[in-house]
Structure 1
């Protein structure tokens, strides 16, 4: 099998899924109606609720949901073979992941832009709502702690990415002012600022930034220096109006990723390298069993509960008209899935373009590829892009910057979502300070920093990261549950959500239970305990929901 075959299969399924399945869902299941007023118009406040052009919003949504997930997950998962990884990424995206994102977005806009946790409370009661919000808050803290550490490592490993990663901030602010205050057609600043962003990448490849001397003079290591800088930045970014920084930053980032994806795919089509990975490897050295762990190793790109937080947290508050949900929610997820496919191609075919033994070296064991996933993506992707005549050094800078910017935009959005949740908890329990945006942002940043500092060198988030994959997919199952409850109350077809809901809850509950058992056997009682707590939270939320369904059924019969 050659790279072209993988790409052709993926994009054929994407095209059929978007043209036919997403239209069916939009018209027959969710019944999108542009005559309805979206929360962006109904509650417009110029900070969080901002009516937005669907293409700009697509850029924000795409980069917010993407992060490093569809890069790291598929890069690791191809150790089980390229066939299961590709099938889960492509078919999972069309029939589960994109449905999950679209459903969460629609449920939110039909509930005045409320979060998925708050919506659950309306259907399953206040206890379910609070439990769900606490679960979301815990996962957001974990994401921020780990992504801050990962971005810091990337800045150190790929110093050429530092300049473009920070240049995008003033470019985004200028873009926001140009479009929203000066009322310039967004196409003009788009071209100008995108060119400036790529110029900064070229400058970064010429002048890599070594922060070591500065951090040493301040008495901290390079990793902690970058972590502190990142959290200071996200504190301000999470509380600023969404049109000023978050939205334009994500839009510009989404466009540069689109350009880079095109380069990777054209490079793959031009070089058409042979896939070096085996079709199936059921028992790689040191790896857990392919079932159910493939489905939690690859989250973003096939299905991710974090997306429900973005769809109902920031995106729903900016949707201009209901019909835009199909483009932003469903197509946005397919865009993320196409990135996961590009990673699979880079790691299974691009990686072997220079050396036929390179795949076997990197994927010799589960432990080895877990340490080498990002370098494998950068190396394989750079090989594909360099086949177009672009130097390997610049190609590596482009790939490394892509990963940094994706992780950073996800961190931006995650801290903002933390602020929303803390605001909601402040309203529930009448805690006045938590209702304040800046104070809630400060608590969000400090709680994440507290987890970072729980282990020397900023590795605190890694303490709980082994259970994140299963917890994230359990969150996806619960988000599908909310969509199911909404459709059921509206007397709409539920089968297209119910089937993915059952599959996801069964598979990920099994994975979480196996994590609990494995950690207990190894003597890691901390992770075993966390796994147990998450499982109990899930069971409690499901029981509350089932009880709500029964109560509603009895009321209807009466």
Structure 2
């Protein structure tokens, strides 16, 4: 099959989802109100609560949620064949991710921009909140630690990406001042930022930058990880308008340009998909597609991490409630388009089936390298881009998105520690600096605690997909309870959450057996903790949901605002 048809079908379906389905969900189910006073206005502080232009906020939200995961997951999952991966990305984006992301922003904004964890306490109960917060912490710990390892690896493998990756921070700081102080208009700011960023991408191969093999006893990988967390700690304490917003915005524009180049190259070269539609010759040890497909591809179809961003930072910057549709749902469409590009690069970016099979010789292979190398081949064939420059472009895309996810993730992890400080009345933990120190310290402990060369972050990565999808299902559960309390139709969130909880539970049980067979008692124990948390929170939410439905039937009334 020609990749052009896959691209047109996928993008066309997601566009239809945005223009039709998201309009229905936001106007008829969430009933967004243009006159509602959002927390960004009500609680404006110039640091976290800042009313923000919807295009800039979309850039922040999109690039915060679109890290390396929507590339890694799909580029691994194609081992089962491109059809299952394609269908889950497209339908997951339309009916799962868009509703989940927009719903989380809406629910949080309607409750003073509380995080989904705090919101669980208000809507369901304190026991559910305490358990939910543990799941949230685990997801953030995995994302921050693992993305630091991924970024460090790419900076070592592609030193040509170092200049544009770190230069983008300087560009973002300048753009932040220009936008916040209204020195020049947004269009001109965008042009300046994009030109500066792509000039550095062009210069990157000419000025490759690499760290020495050893610095004060630290390897290059370990040094990059320490530098990345030092940067992320500073970034998480700065006002959002100074670095987080402008960096995410310009990265969002950069990604769309990158996607246009990739999709344009597909249109011009028309590469054939060499991977099988359904792989009937799976390598030995490959797990069953069901339920593992639905947790291998998390980001790009639906991701619980999105709910943390939606309720943790995005809702605090929402200018008008109708912006929920553009920022949340269209942000999910943007990530779906990135996942679709990853599928195309990992299936049509190879010369032959034999070349593809050489990469996908065991489960877990492919990932970022398949996207970068396959995508670079398509760019070279389609628009004649030099291979090294194409690899630099795609590497920068991956690293910048992983980096912005780390920025937001560490800020969210700081919020978690601060919330625990409030819950348990620990005064010093409620302050930003100590909470940030705890967040960085826990991530570094994981990154350096196992795996030798700073690769310990990968230790619990096998559980990321299931824990992340569990979080998405529980977020939908909270939104569903909120809709029922407002006497709104619940099936548009209840259907996806039932599917997710069933598939996640099956995946956790499948992995539990796998860890037991391997004698991996650490992951076995952690899997049990996550499984127990899933069951307990689900029972608490189900009890609340059932009680509210009975209350609604006992006293019929019109829906609530």
Question: Same fold per TM (> 0.5)?
Answer: yes
TM-score (norm 1): 0.97
Contact conserved, 2:481 with 2:544, CA < 8 A, in 1? no
- Deviations 1:114-159 (Å, cap 9, x if unpaired)? 1011111112111111211122112211211111111111110111
Partner of 2:559: none
Contact conserved, 1:282 with 1:289, CA < 8 A, in 2? no
| 1:475 aligns to 2:465 (yes or no) | no
- Deviations 1:287-320 (Å, cap 9, x if unpaired)? 1001000111111110111100011111111111
Cα distance between partner residues in 2 of 1:17 and 1:271? 28
Cα distance between partner residues in 2 of 1:159 and 1:78? 28
Instruction: Check 1:47–1:282 CA distance in 2 against 1; reply closer, same or farther (3 A cut).
Output: farther
1:356 is displaced (CA, Å) by 5.7
| 1:384 aligns to 2:383 (yes or no) | no
Work out which of the residue numbers 362, 367, 379 in structure 2 matches 1:373.
367
Instruction: Check 1:371–1:553 CA distance in 2 against 1; reply closer, same or farther (3 A cut).
Output: closer
Partner of 1:436: 431
Partner of 2:442: 447
Partner of 2:304: 305
Cα distance between partner residues in 1 of 2:49 and 2:22? 26
Cα distance between partner residues in 1 of 2:32 and 2:183? 29
Contact conserved, 1:303 with 1:473, CA < 8 A, in 2? yes
Contact conserved, 2:158 with 2:392, CA < 8 A, in 1? yes
Q: Secondary structure at the match of 1:418?
A: helix
Cα distance between partner residues in 2 of 1:91 and 1:30? 21
Cα distance between partner residues in 2 of 1:270 and 1:129? 51
Cα distance between partner residues in 2 of 1:371 and 1:550? 44
What root-mean-square deviation, in Å, do the aligned CA atoms of Structure 1 and Structure 2 show?
1.3
Contact conserved, 1:14 with 1:94, CA < 8 A, in 2? yes
Contact conserved, 1:347 with 1:380, CA < 8 A, in 2? yes
1:416 is displaced (CA, Å) by 0.4
1:283 is displaced (CA, Å) by 5.4
- Equivalence map 1:131-530=2 (5 Å): 131-212=131-212, 216-282=214-280, 284-285=282-283, 286-352=285-351, 357-366=354-363, 370-386=364-380, 387-455=382-450, 456-530=452-526
Cα distance between partner residues in 1 of 2:44 and 2:89? 36
- Deviations 1:394-439 (Å, cap 9, x if unpaired)? 1110011111111111111100001111111111111111111121
Q: Secondary structure at the match of 2:273?
A: coil
Q: How many residues end up aligned between the 2 structures?
A: 551
Cα distance between partner residues in 1 of 2:128 and 2:228? 33
Contact conserved, 1:106 with 1:325, CA < 8 A, in 2? yes
Contact conserved, 1:343 with 1:377, CA < 8 A, in 2? yes
Contact conserved, 1:480 with 1:497, CA < 8 A, in 2? yes
Instruction: Check 1:554–1:78 CA distance in 2 against 1; reply closer, same or farther (3 A cut).
Output: closer
Partner of 1:36: 36
- Deviations 1:154-204 (Å, cap 9, x if unpaired)? 110111111111001111111111110244212111111210111111111
1:510 is displaced (CA, Å) by 0.5
Instruction: Check 1:554–1:99 CA distance in 2 against 1; reply closer, same or farther (3 A cut).
Output: closer
